[in-house]
Amino acid sequence: MSQSSGNGAVVLVGCGRLGSAILEGWLATETVAPAELIIVTPSQKPAAEAARALGARVNPHGAALAEARAVVLAVKPANWREALRPLLPHLAQSAVLISVMAGVRAGEIAEASTRSVARVMPTTGVAQGRGVAALWSADVEARETARALFARMADVVDLEREAQMDAATAVAGSAPAFIHAFVQALARAGETQGLSSEAAERLARGALRSAGAGAETGEPLEALIARIASPGGTTQAGLEAMAAAGDLDRAAEAAVEAAVRRAQAISG
């Protein structure tokens, strides 16, 4: 897989958990060559330092930003204006801004920057080239610029409307944590049934890996469930118990609704 061809620099603003995952994914999938990377971060981050060792520039002088073809905003939503403001005088008008921030509307960023904007909500699995990312932009060029930066490390899902981004954030961006929490609950349930804590966690983690391998086949989720749940078997008994209680659906609905409400609150 060849690295990008050098049509300008890619600027990553913010190198927290998600920013670091994006950076690691770009390097692992050779989406962006290290020499084309500019990282803007207020504090030293291991991912940024690893990229610097490969040739990326970290916090260079503002003049270097004139090379940018894309700027990925990966800062906390409350801080985006403060982070973007000092960069704008140095950016070419053609630079595309790509937000991976929950709750911040594209129109706000476009108004503040007078530049084209795309919104992407990736999972941290992009670090291993195994993420998923929701994508929306009203601008065709901005959308395709964003797609090119994420397509090698994520399954990019186009949204029809920006209003769907909050739900996409909850279902994909936040959901890995929800799933890990469920796996943790399964491990605790295993302990209740007599497993040691180590055995219960290893088995639950292994089950998560197995489920992920099944999901990657692209088969419908119903088919994946049916493949494991034999009629009259132990899995079917567990599924019926969850369905009868309704707890799984209620927990999923509550988690997604709460995440959507929080994203809407952030957007103000």
Q: Is 81 a domain residue?
A: yes
**What tens-digit pLDDT sequence spans the chain (268 residues)?**
334 445 799 999 999 999 999 999 999 999 999 999 999 999 999 999 999 999 999 999 989 999 999 999 999 999 999 999 999 999 999 999 999 998 899 999 999 999 999 999 999 999 999 999 999 999 999 999 999 999 999 999 999 999 999 899 888 878 888 999 999 999 999 999 999 999 999 999 999 999 988 888 889 999 999 999 989 999 999 999 988 988 888 988 999 899 888 887 876 5
Say which amino acid occupies 77: P
Q: Give yes or no: residues 121 and 37 share one domain.
A: yes
Judge whether 150 and 137 are in contact, CB under 8 Å: no
Main-chain phi, psi angles of 160, to 5 degrees: -75, -35
**For residue 176, what pLDDT is reported?**
85
Q: Give yes or no: residues 181 and 128 share one domain.
A: no
Q: Give yes or no: residues 57 and 154 share one domain.
A: yes
| Residue 89 annotated in ligand binding | no
Dihedral angle computed from the Cα positions of residues 195, 201, 206 and 209, in that order, rounded to the nearest 10 degrees: 150
Q: Give yes or no: residues 149 and 205 share one domain.
A: no
**Domain that includes residue 124, residue range:** 9-160
30: left (phi over 0), alpha (psi -120 to 50) or beta: left
Count CB-CB contacts under 10 A for residue 267.
Answer: 15
| Residue 42 annotated in ligand binding | no
| Residue 75 annotated in ligand binding | yes
Q: Is 44 a domain residue?
A: yes
| Residue 217 annotated in ligand binding | no
Domain of residue 239, CATH code: 1.10.3730.10
Q: What is the domain count for the chain?
A: 2
Give the start-end residues of each E strand in the chain: 9-13, 37-40, 57-58, 68-73, 96-99, 117-122, 131-136, 154-158
Q: Is 170 a domain residue?
A: no
Judge whether 138 and 36 are in contact, CB under 8 Å: no
In whole angstroms, give the CA distance from residue 131 to residue 1: 18
End position of a domain, from candidates 160, 187, 204: 160
**For residue 3, what pLDDT is reported?**
45
| Residue 77 annotated in ligand binding | yes
Strands in 37-40's sheet, in edge-to-edge order, are 57-58, 37-40, 9-13, 68-73, 96-99, 117-122, 131-136, 154-158
Q: Is 60 a domain residue?
A: yes
Domain of residue 49, CATH code: 3.40.50.720
Cα 158 off chain centre by: 14
Tokens 């490969």: give the residue. 54
Burial of 176 (0-12, 13-18, 19+ CB in 10 A): middle
Q: Give yes or no: residues 156 and 29 share one domain.
A: yes
Q: Is 155 a domain residue?
A: yes
